């Protein structure tokens, strides 16, 4: 189980770093900017989670995460010459995988540290969405979590599935994979069918 969590974590780092690097390419950032955007996307959420939970920040304890991010960013620069030609949907799908993985893995880590289930789901959601928020803010784009798209809802859904299955005594690896697939399917459905939550709207026109 520990090995499964390790490789899922690495895969999450890679796909989030890739989404950050592709975003940097779309905005024509220099190589340093690509690495920075890849890094904040990949480790931003987990960093905030660990600081809140007052536990050692994961990439400080295990710096190989930074190496994975650097390699991903450099390979993106070398292999993808024209990021603007990459369909925007590809960026959304890469982000969806990272969201699903980190939402559940963040929930799992919070639970392992003894937090209540509700807090663990919140920590998982932060892990999944915060890196993408930082990436979007740095690129002067409205973060997806603040738009109508199903985003944070998918992260919460995945975390709740994991917590519920753990409570029911389901095997750890089944609970993890079920939570990840639940979050991923909900997010991909939102992307494919353009399903969104209703917008809150206030009419500025005063009645005359």
pLDDT digits (tens, 9 = 90+) for 164-207: 999 999 999 999 999 999 999 999 998 888 777 777 777 766 54
**Of 186, 3, 9, nearest to 109 (Cα)?**
9
What's the pLDDT at 204?
66
For the chain, what percentages of helix, strand and coil (3-state, to nearest 5) are there?
75, 0, 25
What's the pLDDT at 206?
52
What's the pLDDT at 193?
84
Does some domain include residue 197?
A: no
Q: Please, what is the Cα angle at 22 between 69 and 88, to 5 degrees?
A: 140
Kindly tell me if the per-residue pLDDT of 14 is higher than 90.
Answer: yes
Q: Beta partners for 196?
A: 149
Does some domain include residue 79?
A: yes
What's the pLDDT at 205?
62
Does some domain include residue 138?
A: yes
Which residue range forms the structural domain that includes residue 141?
2-192
Residue 200: Cβ-neighbour burial (10 angstroms; 0-12, 13-18, 19+)? exposed
Cβ neighbours of residue 152 under 8 Å, at least 6 residues apart? 125, 128, 129, 145
pTM, full prediction: 0.90
148 confidence band (pLDDT: 50, 70, 90) = low
Does some domain include residue 199?
A: no
pLDDT digits (tens, 9 = 90+) for 32-43: 999 999 999 999
Does some domain include residue 207?
A: no
The domain tally of the chain equals 1
What's the pLDDT at 82?
74
Cβ neighbours of residue 122 under 8 Å, at least 6 residues apart? none
Q: How many whole angstroms separate alpha carbon 24 and alpha carbon 141?
A: 12
Count of beta carbons in the 10 Å neighbourhood of residue 36 = 18
Residues 107-133: what's their mean pLDDT? 96
Does some domain include residue 11?
A: yes
Tokens of 43: 């480790």
The DSSP string of 81-135 is S-GGGS-HHHHHHHHHHHHHHHHHHHHHHHHHTT--HHHHHHHHHHHHHHHHHHH
The DSSP string of 21-58 is HHHHHHTT--HHHHHHHHHHHHHHHHHHHHHHTTS--H
Dihedral sign for Cα 189, 151, 102, 169, please: negative
**Of 68, 75, 80, nearest to 26 (Cα)?**
80
């Amino acid at each position: 189980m520990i090995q499964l969590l390790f490789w899922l974590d690495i895969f999450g780092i890679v796909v989030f770093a890739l989404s950050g690097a592709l975003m940097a390419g779309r905005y024509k950032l220099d190589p340093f900017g690509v690495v920075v955007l890849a890094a904040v996307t990949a480790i931003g959420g987990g960093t905030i989670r660990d600081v809140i939970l007052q536990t050692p920040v994961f990439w400080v304890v295990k710096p190989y995460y930074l190496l994975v991010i650097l390699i991903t960013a450099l390979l993106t620069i070398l292999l993808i010459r024209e990021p603007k030609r990459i369909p925007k949907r590809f960026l959304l799908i890469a982000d969806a995988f990272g969201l699903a993985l980190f939402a559940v893995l963040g929930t799992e880590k919070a639970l392992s540290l003894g937090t209540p289930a509700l807090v663990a789901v919140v920590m998982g959601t932060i892990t999944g969405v915060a890196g993408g928020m930082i990436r979007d803010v740095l690129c002067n784009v409205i973060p997806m979590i603040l738009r109508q798209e199903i985003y944070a809802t998918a992260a919460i859904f995945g975390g709740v599935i994991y917590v519920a299955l753990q409570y029911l005594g389901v095997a750890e690896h089944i609970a993890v994979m079920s939570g990840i697939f639940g979050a991923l399917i909900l997010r991909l459905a939102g992307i494919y069918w353009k399903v969104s939550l209703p917008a809150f709207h206030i009419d500025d026109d005063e009645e005359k």
